[in-house]
Structure 1
Amino acid sequence: MKSKDILSRVFEITRDPRDGLLFLKEFQSLSPESFAILYADSETIFESSEALFSDLKLLYQLDLFPFVVLEEDSFQYLKVFFPLEQMAVGGTDEKSLGFSYEIIAREKPLKESVKDSIQRKKIPILLWNDDTEKLEAVLDRCRAILHSAKVIYVSIDGPLKDPNSGKVKSLVQMENNFQLPGDFSITESQKEFVALSEALLSKIEDPKFSIVLTSPFTLLTELFTVKGSGTLVKRKNKIHKFNSKDGIDMDRLFLLIEESFGKRLKPNFLLTQFDTLFLEESYRACAWMQKTEYGYLLSKFAVNGVARGAGVGRDIWDQILENCNPLFWRSKPDNSINKWYMSIAQGIEKDNSWYYYWLGLDQALIPKIIDLLKSQPEDFESKLI
């Protein structure tokens, strides 16, 4: 299957080609061994291994090689129902796993073994036995050695869901422990995921690290869409408030804004000043605020594409609402965020060039703030990055 056909198949499943390409680019920018650690419990392998391996095959065809951790019992099961030999690249046996793999020997250096396996186009698999090492220790050790910021727990039970609405609890931001409402009823594998999340996040300082619980039927949707398909757990985003440029890497900040909008900033904007800036500590999102006689103008609200599913933009927005009132801003008609803006704004006015929004504003001031917004210069070049 050609690369274009593989991508088409992935985006047919995820229904999200634009964000899918963004995530693919991000994954391919990582060292191959750092892409992700994937653990599938034994029940998932027994009941839905073909669904899981179908998605792993597509990742394999995209030259993405997750480091897979399986229980020894799971692998014994696979040896019964799938060929014993490790399938050659390009093989077509329908009973095979669908991709070439290699069992990583525990006595050999992990990173070197994994890199060697990937260089030979094989997905590395580590067999785990609870009697010799606890799952938490295995995942943490492998994560530290491979420098992976993503652990994927695949379970037939799927992600955590609200017992009343049935909606997936898509994001949990931890500070000290995993907070769940008292009426949540969870399975044994989900309890194990909660315990793993608490244990790993209590010792991992990296703000980009996350662990996600998803179903074997929706692995690609979890990986290649902003919305995802599972319950993602990460540290609470740290948002810093600045009133001057002191302590800010301005080049890095401007790069974030340009990448978020997909356009280059005009030289004049690089000379402007903000009155308040909200900035995520890893430069994944920011809000550039200017104070006016009518309230705060939100000049730039930028969120790194890959960070959109991690709640970073929402956390910055909460800081804006807490510190900057009244509030008004404008957005291009083709901006994908307009649907969300419309759901949270007090009011909106449109013309051919812009949509104008406001919150907490006296009605009498609306014509004046719209005039102010219309008078603002265009800060981006028309040419895309």
Structure 2
Amino acid sequence: MLIETMIALNKTIRLFLDSIGRRDEYEFYLNKFQSGPTDCFALLCPDAGSIEAGAEVLAFDLHFLLRLELVPAILLAGDEAMTMQQTLAKEPIFIFQTLEKGTTASFIEHARAQERVPVLVAAGQSLEEALLQLLPETAQRVHFIRAAGGLKNTAGELVPYVYTHKENFQALEALPFDYPALGKKLLETRPGVHLSITSPINLLEEIFTVKGAGTLFRKGSEILHFQGLEDADRGRLLELLETAFGKKLAGTDFLDNVAHAYIEQDYRGAVLLEEHPAGLYLSKFAVGKEARGEGLALELWREVHETHNALFWRSNVNNPFNSWYHKESNGHHHAGKWQIYWRGVDPSDISGIIEYCSARGEDFC
């Protein structure tokens, strides 16, 4: 009977995860979180509005995380901490303790044993002070939760990435709490932490999918620009390409044709461009699995299209990235297994680039 119950539970969990996102994505994150070295896999920092409006939703999601053997901790800090605690105390899944040095790890382990969610209450500290005390030993991930969800631009559209140490692409909405400033402070003093902000209803999608469902805070990447690949590390580049595409390269001769390469300094992402009379052919656009969902693809793309006007490329028709390519291109054409895109190409050259992309051989086995 116990075995049958466990099988039914596992099926229910699998179906729920399938409803959130792609299986390969959530399995990647699930394995990553379950093998993490910290006391809990994430710190959740809700604002008063998210608790007032969504305490039951939050409790449901956290109960699901416990079923996955993932224990998050909730941090309540500042003037409204006690009020938020009173609201959460109505849900039996939560267990509370005042934030004190030296007792956090044992409290989280105690909550884990009881299959409950630990809530750390720091009424006498600001959110920044409490997080600086807890990171990175207690957790290396922080999810801010607010009723309004991720940050918006001045037009009310979601901003998926805020680059705290670079010029941001869009101006942000007026905020009652300066999350970008806090994000900048934490990324400076606690390098390597993951910071994002979402709503209670989108928390699981934010956690388990590459695309996410909120706003991610990043310092911003250093992108190296090479003219040709003479000064690039070809070994690391080839490893990135095969890992990102999940295939072995049929050969490496195509690298000799690369005229421009934009490569993240740690070789976690790269764009390779070849010369063509109609513009530049985007030969490869690769982002490593560990870097997906961080906005690196957007940073690479911005570097490329700010420098080069006429671009064209092809993508397998089954590539889930194609919806984004549609938005970033001026036009596209379906040819067999390929979807061909162009941006800034002269209309008289379009038939020629379609023929070029269709006839070009495969670079992977």
TM-score category, normalised to shorter length: 0.7 to 0.9
Q: Secondary structure at the match of 1:145?
A: coil
Cα pair 1:226 1:309 within 8 Å, conserved: yes
Q: Secondary structure at the match of 1:278?
A: strand
Cα pair 2:76 2:85 within 8 Å, conserved: no
How far did residue 219 of structure 1 move? Answer: 0.9
Structure 1 residues 333 and 180: alpha-carbon distance in aligned structure 2, compared to 1, 3 A threshold: closer
Structure 1 length-normalised TM: 0.76
Q: Secondary structure at the match of 1:218?
A: helix
Structure 2 residue runs of 5 or longer lacking an equivalent are 1-7
1:52 aligns with 2:46: no
Partner of 2:326: 342
One-letter amino acid of the counterpart of residue 293, structure 2: G
Deviations 1:10-53 (A, max 9, x none): 332x3554543443344345335463221224554454322111
Partner of 2:5: none
Cα pair 2:38 2:137 within 8 Å, conserved: no
How far did residue 270 of structure 1 move? Answer: 7.5
Q: Secondary structure at the match of 1:341?
A: helix
What is the total number of aligned residue pairs between the two structures? 354
Structure 2 length-normalised TM: 0.80
How far did residue 79 of structure 1 move? Answer: 8.1
Structure 1 residues 49 and 323: alpha-carbon distance in aligned structure 2, compared to 1, 3 A threshold: same
1:174 aligns with 2:164: yes
One-letter amino acid of the counterpart of residue 167, structure 1: E
Partner of 1:272: 255
Percent of pairs with identical residues: 28
Partner of 2:100: 106
Q: Secondary structure at the match of 2:135?
A: helix
1:135 aligns with 2:127: yes
Aligned equivalents of 1:214 and 1:18: distance in 2? 22
Aligned equivalents of 2:268 and 2:319: distance in 1? 19
CA RMSD of aligned residues (A): 3.5
Cα pair 2:315 2:322 within 8 Å, conserved: yes
One-letter amino acid of the counterpart of residue 344, structure 2: G
Correspondence 1:324-363 to 2 at 5 A: 324-363=308-347
1:312 aligns with 2:296: yes
Aligned equivalents of 2:85 and 2:345: distance in 1? 66
The counterpart of 1:61, out of the listed 67, 74, 95, is 67
Cα pair 1:67 1:123 within 8 Å, conserved: no
Aligned equivalents of 1:199 and 1:291: distance in 2? 42
Structure 1 residues 326 and 18: alpha-carbon distance in aligned structure 2, compared to 1, 3 A threshold: same
Deviations 1:128-175 (A, max 9, x none): 3242x3321221232232461x311122343333464x4333322222
Partner of 1:10: 17
Cα pair 1:68 1:123 within 8 Å, conserved: no
Aligned equivalents of 1:202 and 1:256: distance in 2? 27
How far did residue 372 of structure 1 move? Answer: 3.4
Partner of 2:360: 376
Q: Secondary structure at the match of 1:30?
A: coil
Structure 1 residues 81 and 30: alpha-carbon distance in aligned structure 2, compared to 1, 3 A threshold: closer
Deviations 1:163-218 (A, max 9, x none): 64x43333222227989848x343x4xx1534422432343444xx4422222222
